[in-house]
Structure 1
């Protein structure tokens, strides 16, 4: 599964793999089925559950803080003849020794703790993008995966789509000449409008658990479930939503999966505070040590949604279901004959299952997901501050700006803490 070029890249993590991965015997049970625990079954959670069920996984438990959402997840399992247990607290699901891996499809503010606790509980993890809500969280997630020898796949499924793999393979092999610039386009913010008055959480929702480590706020239906993505407490708007997809592809095409920009600058506009906190529009410039710049635009007429790679001999544009070039013959090359072969996954969910058994790192490994999320977070940092920042991608530190440096991590609401370890009941 792993190409020579990928092995070369993975040498940077060699120290973390001094001891071999251990494959749990339970991974090779009856019919060779992987047993999953599913945390979050709303929005992307339902498609994720359907895909793993279709791939023949056994679902031992379904967890969600909303009883109606949980019931919908159980119904999907029942349609496949499965009757998993249900949970309102993810830690009880992690306590099950028969669970090989967990699927985390929750609001972003829960990704870090759940992934870390799952790794500590000996589970492999498929966690939705963006991997984290703060840069420092992502590094703690990587450390937890490596320390506990866990496979962690980020839900950046574009890495398993042919058009993105083909575009990045061509760029990495110099098909458009020397790379000069990458344009990344984002769609508009799809918030639901004005908040309206706060209310009382419905009986079906454990609102305190929904908040978890996020600050205590009054309940408002336009802040929960899908609408979480428009508030800094829980997410980062389209910059961490579609930005996590298209900036991830930019990183892949540039060959910067193990690093990041050295400077970020730009501007942004915002909706009224009673509507949304995240960007309405933005234009951000990421400068890399190589001199290549990534220009990210939200609702910028000259930047289409997707990724446009610009070289001195041509351009390649890629978005979902579309791959074009200003020189069409570039796309006709025999990719198998090219010297640099990128990791090829044809099914993101199957790739995760395969890696559970092989103990290889998946196509969107936790380190890759962390680095891509970091690019998103740096952009939001500049948007919120209204000025540029300098970034040391090796030390993962802001350079010369104490205000920006304080935004690299986030505080947790008690009793949740950064160093809270998973404990079996």
Structure 2
């Protein structure tokens, strides 16, 4: 478009220039106008990513750059390789969508405070380790950002409660990464349980009961390009060891989870998905179990949660053992219980749901018209886009922060029962253990300065 310089143009030249503008074709790309399936830039939700390792890069960033209703403006990671790789992922994806074939507008930083200070970012995806989930969520809410935070939502019970309070106080939309809430198979299974298709639920079997422990690993040289102080963040200081963090491309989801300073082991990293399904199916999204019994007591062979009404949730090994468990009629003892799901046993039958790709029941007619094989990536996309739609409409998403935090608290309860080695009575309304000060102290941990929740 010609530039009009009124200071140097006489009246006649100025009028000629205006006339030329009036008749010259002015071509505006369809994407800029929101036509032909495009979303106009002014209507896109602008995103920043905090943590771009295994989950942040592979599961989230690689998909959000495909959604026309969103635009990634910045990435943040304390690992330089991951940060630069994520930046390249964004710019390559957007360059391919542009007529010019180039795009160089994704910022990269290693300190989340720098990203959160940007006024042009609407929302953030937090996919760090859980040591950061609580503080990062609170900081993001206070910075006016909507939030998608990965599971487990927190490192402690008190952090989960603080996250809910911050999100509500700041009026933000917060989705948690328990994305089976967006999977048709799990939706059907939980609906059948809630509607009484199995009669009164008596027990539920889920798998993976491992917890973290206190560990001491030898100090190793911090890789060039890794900000170890910021990696630790609010967690206690300890020397770098590659078992905590694999510099560069991430080969596993939660390598740090075996260490109690950084995680809770399988119960919080994996079984939290199954606990979320249990909470959902039992209609306990605002409550939880009332007693937790670890196997060390000898009362049950496995970690067991007692829910109001007498429902028992047993965290078992891969299969049901007739010598230890009540095996429901029609159940094949050689069948492995599926990851991240469970077996719901009621008065009138059982139902088995999980991520292995099948939904089964006895009687089989219960799921005869069920959805096709489970596809986690379809469910994940639905979950991500449900968050974007919730931001647009200002409704609560399918796994709101209060729901996801309550399911994470169930995992924390199991960890604390295993660590203390005794039965614990839990008050879901007061969010505290009854008559056990040691267990109550384990609801929280001190954070390194200057971090807080």
Give the alignment's TM-score, normalised by structure 2: 0.77
SS in 2 for 1:60: strand
Note closer, same or farther for the CA distance 1:196–1:392 as it changes in structure 2 (3 Å cut): closer
What is the alpha-carbon distance in structure 2 between the residues aligned to residue 190 and residue 115 of structure 1?
23
TM-superposition CA deviations, 1:12-65 (whole Å, max 9, x none): xxxxxxxxxxxxxxxx96262110000111111112111111112211110000
Residues 170-216 of structure 1 deviation map (CA, whole Å, 9 limit, x = unaligned): 1111111111111111287999xx98632121121000000011001
Per-residue Cα deviation, 1:115-165 (whole angstroms, up to 9, x for no partner): 011000010000000111100100100000100110000001111111111
Question: C-alpha displacement at 1:255, in angstroms?
Answer: 0.6
User: How far has the Cα of 1:333 moved from its partner?
Assistant: 6.3
Equivalent residue for 1:397? 432
Secondary structure of the corresponding residue to residue 245 of structure 1: helix
Match of 2:278 in 1: 250
Match of 1:72 in 2: 85
1:5-404 maps to which residues of 2 (within 5 A)?
30=41, 32-46=43-57, 47-56=59-68, 57-81=70-94, 82=103, 83-186=105-208, 197-224=218-245, 226-267=254-295, 283-299=302-318, 301-302=320-321, 304-305=337-338, 306-320=341-355, 321-332=357-368, 347-404=382-439
Deviation at 1:241, TM superposition (A): 1.3
Is the Cα–Cα contact under 8 Å of residues 188 and 298 in structure 1 kept in the other structure? no
Taking the aligned partners of 1:149 and 1:203, their CA distance within structure 2 comes to: 40
Distance 1:195 1:71, change over 3 A: farther
- The change in CA–CA distance for 1:345 and 1:54 in structure 2 (over 3 A counts) is closer
Structure 1: which 5+ residue stretches go unaligned?
1-27, 269-281, 336-343, 419-425
The C-alpha deviation readout for 1:382-402, integer Å capped at 9, x for no partner, is: 111111111000000111001
**Deviation for aligned residue 1:267:** 2.4
Q: Number of matched residues?
A: 369
Structure 2: any 5+ residue segments left out of the alignment?
Answer: 1-38, 95-102, 247-253, 322-335, 372-378
Distance in 1 of aligned mates of 2:451 and 2:413:
25
Give the distance between the partners of 1:301 and 1:205, measured in 2 at CA.
44
CA distance 1:158–1:385, shift in 2 (3 Å): same
3-state SS in 2 of match to 1:229: coil
Whole-Å separation in 2 of the counterparts to 1:398 and 1:181: 23
Report if the CA contact (8 A) 1:162-1:346 is conserved. no
Q: Distance in 2 between matches of 1:124 and 1:346?
A: 18
- Tell me the TM-score normalized by structure 1: 0.82
Greater relative contact order: 1 or 2 (C-alpha under 8 angstroms, separation 6 or more)?
1
Superposed CA offset, 1:299-332 (max 9, x none): 5554723311111011110011221002110113
When residues 117 and 29 of structure 1 are mapped into structure 2, their CA distance, relative to the original with a 3 A threshold, is farther
Q: For 1:132, what is the secondary structure of its paired residue? A: coil
CA RMSD of aligned residues (A): 2.4
User: CA separation in 2, counterparts of 1:63 and 1:33?
Assistant: 20
- 1:262-311 alpha-carbon deviations (Å, 9 max, x no partner): 1000127xxxxxxxxxxxxx921111122111111245554723311111
Which structure's CA Rg is the greater one?
2
